[in-house]
Amino acid sequence: MQANMEDTYRHKGLRKQLVEGIRQKGIRDEAVLAAIEKIPRHFFMDSSFLEFAYQDKPFPIGSGQTISQPYTVAFQTELLQVKKGMKVLEIGTGSGYQASVLSEMGARVFSIERQRKLFQRTKEFMGRFRYPVKLFLGDGYLGLPTFAPFDRILITAAAPEIPQALLEQLKPNGILVIPHGKDDIQNMLQIMKQADGTIRSETHGTFRFVPLLGDLGND
């Protein structure tokens, strides 16, 4: 994450190209595309990665973690069907980029990160950046019972199982998006909680995420 936050015409031009590429890959939600075009992704990466910030690729952000590929961010956000004013819980804050995209779209964002070092770095950065995202250090498997229920829940790491606590913290008519699977490649699930509380799930292709980590303490 950068100390010096400068967003030049060159950066803006590269972002426009990135958004066109993502659109060509099939993303249709204009609010998602507008958020990606607006947010300087290079702010969320180490300066040594600046020239990579506007390639459609994931990148290391320290602590063995990655900032997701922009297309993946767009895909998950589109599946989430976020509307202004919705309360959204993200599991896996990482760099804070995805949380910023949700916030730019008008969501009230709560995000949990499990790794202390990453949490502290991102909290410091987000304090200087423009979005009022609420960040928590903790185990995303447990969600945030104090702030539940949520209109939308987004998991940005691979989960071998769908955490029951998160399903419970989802509002009726809510949507939860999760990369689900035990192997290297996961199915992207869009899980809808019906008004009567029953669960319906759709699979939307396969993706490759770092795994959701279990117990706390590996800081």
Residues that bind ligand SAM (CB under 6 A): 65-68, 91-92, 94-95, 97-98, 112-115, 118, 139-141, 156-157, 209-210, 212-213
* Residue 137 token pair: 């250090």
**Choice between 59 and 87, CB closer to ligand SAM:** 59
**Choice between 112 and 191, CB closer to ligand SAM:** 112
Identify whether 201 is a catalytic site residue. Answer: no
Give min distance, CB of 156 to ligand SAM, in A: 4
Q: Biggest alpha carbon distance in the chain? A: 50
List the catalytic residue out of 47, 63, 68, 111: 68
Give min distance, CB of 210 to ligand SAM, in A: 5
**Choice between 175 and 212, CB closer to ligand SAM:** 212
* Residue 139 token pair: 């185990």
Give min distance, CB of 98 to ligand SAM, in A: 3
Q: For residue 22, what are the CA distances in angstroms to 67, 72, 115?
A: 16, 9, 30
**Choice between 66 and 81, CB closer to ligand SAM:** 66
Quote the Cα angle for 177-109-97, to 5°.
Answer: 75
Neighbouring residues of 130: CB distance < 8 A, sequence distance ≥ 6: none
The CB-based long-range contact list for 17-26 (8 Å cut-off, 24+ gap) reads 17/54, 18/54, 18/55, 18/56, 18/70, 21/56, 21/71, 22/56, 22/70, 22/71, 22/74, 25/56, 25/71
Give min distance, CB of 217 to ligand SAM, in A: 12
Tell me the catalytic residues: 68
